[in-house]
Amino acid sequence: MAYEEQRLQVLNAAREIFSSNLVTGTWGNVSMRAPGEQRLIITPSGMNYAAMEALDLVVVDFNLKVIEGQYKPSVESPLHMKIYRKRPEVNAIVHVHAPFASAFAVARKNIPVLIEETAQVVGHEVPVAAYAHCGTDQLADNALKTLGNDKKAVLLANHGLVALGDNMMMP
């Protein structure tokens, strides 16, 4: 099994967002960059997080062609792939529908830097990207535009939150 370490980190993060109620059902998605390659390891589409195993994750290239895996990659794969393409320092991406973040996303209000964690971990106000339908290239492009070259988190209007990191570790 290629990318075993990354697979385990993606799996652990996927289980964590589910058990922390940052997503419900099979929503949300998690990925990591395959080290040194134009590929990513991403959660499959529509699979229950509690039942997910490392081998269920999908490896896709930067054209979203499936390299390894028997399931369909997350519907938000274009979003993840385009971020890795544009931001070489990013190695991990988590997308959640966290209730409070989603409330800001619905209100289309930036999350201000008010609490210590935001200041230390994110370091900037979390802006809202223009609305686009789930799973579309337009959604990915809108998010990328708002993320620019240095932002670590973005809200997707009427949808949820995307966070980027150079690794998957919890700060």
Positions marked active-site: 76
Closer to Zn ion by CB, 30 or 41: give it. 30
Smallest gap from Cβ 95 to Zn ion, in A, equals: 6
Smallest distance, Zn ion to C-beta of residue 138, A: 14
Question: What count of residues does the chain have?
Answer: 171
- Residue closer to Zn ion, measured from CB, 64 or 113: 64
Smallest gap, in angstroms, from Cβ of residue 136 to Zn ion?
12
Rounded Cα distance between 64 and 168, Å, is 21
Instruction: For the CB of residue 160, give the shortest distance to Zn ion in the complex, in Å.
Output: 5
Q: Interface with Zn ion includes 165 (CB under 5 A)?
A: no
Q: Binding string, 108-147, against Zn ion, x = CB under 5 A?
A: ----------------------------------------
- Taking the least distance from each CB to Zn ion, the nearer of 133 and 171 is 133
Q: Does 160 bind Zn ion (CB under 5 A)?
A: yes
Question: Which range in 41-49, 84-92, 103-111, 153-161 contacts Zn ion by CB under 5 A?
Answer: 153-161
State yes or no: residue 78 binds Zn ion (CB under 5 A). no
Query: What DSSP assignment string belongs to 75-94?
Result: TTHHHHHHHHHH-TT--EEE
Binding site for Zn ion (CB under 5 A): 160
